[in-house]
């Protein structure tokens, strides 16, 4: 008997029954409680079944993630010809939006269609950058140059002189990403300063949300890990609507729908189509179409 007056556990009894004597604190009456012991083989089998189920679920989850990743890569990686088709569609959407805005047509469908232009350009830009290990400074300098040239046409088309055109958004994003890659203290500070300066000047070029869209597009095509790619796609699905969320819910949804719809249709063209536009066609066209629209509206 132990120190509190109750009996110790008895030995094991035959028939796989474990019994112990228990002393009731309230009545002082002794009685015996018995419980059936589960066979060890049955317990081990149950554990093995549970482990097998867990492994099966893990395998299924991994398989689903792998299939999703493979599908996304086929959906978001395009041949040079497909990239030119996507940029052409984005260009048409952009022109419709600018005509609607500059000539004050106030056509809702033209405005909503135009919400898909920037995300499409951003995705193609990110894919093009992934061809090189790092963003090249000469390419960034060319963007800065085209941005300055286009700014005169931007002002002529009726936009405020202090608002930067969309080419500056690409130049700022590329410059910030390049400086951040070097992991230099002063370059990181310069990148933060550049973003701070760009913020007040980017009201007509999607602001900081536009820089985030470009940064996600750049990282998406450089990601080597499946989990990172899936996370970046999830970010992309959030950032694209965020570009136009301040305008209206319809504009936010339209931007995502136009982007997904365009990419889906372009995939039907096949990957064998070669590139058909020269290298600087799109920044040249951007500056020229603004100048033409600006002259026509005078």
pLDDT in tens, 225-234: 899 999 999 9
* 159, 288: one domain: yes
64 vs 266, which has greater pLDDT?
Answer: 266
For 4-63, how does the pLDDT look when each residue is reduced to its tens digit (9 = 90+)?
Answer: 444 444 444 344 434 444 433 333 333 334 344 445 445 455 444 444 445 555 566 668
Give domain status of residue 267, yes or no: yes
Report pLDDT for 185: 87
* 13, 96: one domain: no
Give me the domain span that covers residue 155. 77-297
Give domain status of residue 138, yes or no: yes
* 217, 118: one domain: yes
pLDDT of 66 higher than 80: yes
Q: Region 104-114: what's the mean pLDDT?
A: 97
Q: Region 204-224: what's the mean pLDDT?
A: 95
- Rounded Cα distance between 219 and 229, Å, is 9
pLDDT of 247 higher than 90: yes
Give domain status of residue 291, yes or no: yes
Give domain status of residue 271, yes or no: yes
Give domain status of residue 92, yes or no: yes
Number of domains in the chain: 2
- Rounded Cα distance between 17 and 210, Å, is 72
* 25, 120: one domain: no
* 23, 157: one domain: no
Lowest-confidence pick of 54-58, 130-134, 256-260, 273-277: 54-58
First to last CA, the chain: 107
* 97, 18: one domain: no
pLDDT of 251 higher than 50: yes
Give domain status of residue 70, yes or no: no
* 103, 31: one domain: no
- Mean pLDDT, rounded, of the chain: 84
Q: Which residues contact 233 (CB under 8 A, 6 or more apart)?
A: 72, 76, 220
pLDDT of 218 higher than 50: yes
Q: Region 142-166: what's the mean pLDDT?
A: 96
* 25, 84: one domain: no
- Rounded Cα distance between 6 and 22, Å, is 6
* 96, 175: one domain: yes
* 271, 152: one domain: yes
Report pLDDT for 9: 42
Q: Region 252-260: what's the mean pLDDT?
A: 97
* 193, 91: one domain: yes
Report pLDDT for 67: 87
Give domain status of residue 103, yes or no: yes
For 6-15, how does the pLDDT look when each residue is reduced to its tens digit (9 = 90+)?
Answer: 444 444 434 4
Give domain status of residue 239, yes or no: yes
* 194, 135: one domain: yes
């Amino acid at each position: 008997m132990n120190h509190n007056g109750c009996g110790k556990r008895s030995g094991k009894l035959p028939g796989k029954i474990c019994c112990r004597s228990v002393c009731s604190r309230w009545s002082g009456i002794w009685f015996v409680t018995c419980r059936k012991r589960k066979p060890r083989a049955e317990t081990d089998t149950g554990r093995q079944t549970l482990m097998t189920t867990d492994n099966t679920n893990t395998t299924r989850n991994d398989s689903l993630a792998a299939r999703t990743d493979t599908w996304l890569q086929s959906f978001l990686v395009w041949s040079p010809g497909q990239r030119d088709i996507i940029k052409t569609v984005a260009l048409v959407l952009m022109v419709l939006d600018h005509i609607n805005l500059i000539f004050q047509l106030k056509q809702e469908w033209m405005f909503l269609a135009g919400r898909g232009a920037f995300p499409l350009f951003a995705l193609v830009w990110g894919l093009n950058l992934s061809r090189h290990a790092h963003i090249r400074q000469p390419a960034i300098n060319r963007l800065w140059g085209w941005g300055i040239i286009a700014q005169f046409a931007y002002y002529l088309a009726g936009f405020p002189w202090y608002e930067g055109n969309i080419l500056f958004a690409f130049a700022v994003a590329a410059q910030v990403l390049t400086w951040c890659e070097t992991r230099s203290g002063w370059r990181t500070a310069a990148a933060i300063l550049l973003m701070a300066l760009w913020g007040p000047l980017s009201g007509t070029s999607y602001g900081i949300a536009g820089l985030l869209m470009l940064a996600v597009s750049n990282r998406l095509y450089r990601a080597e890990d499946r989990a990172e790619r899936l996370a970046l796609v999830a970010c992309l699905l959030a950032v694209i609507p965020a570009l136009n969320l301040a305008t209206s819910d319809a504009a936010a949804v339209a931007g995502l729908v136009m982007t997904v719809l365009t990419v889906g249709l372009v995939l039907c063209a096949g990957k064998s189509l070669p590139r058909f536009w020269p290298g600087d066609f799109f920044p040249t066209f951007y500056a020229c179409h603004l100048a033409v629209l600006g002259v026509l509206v005078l």
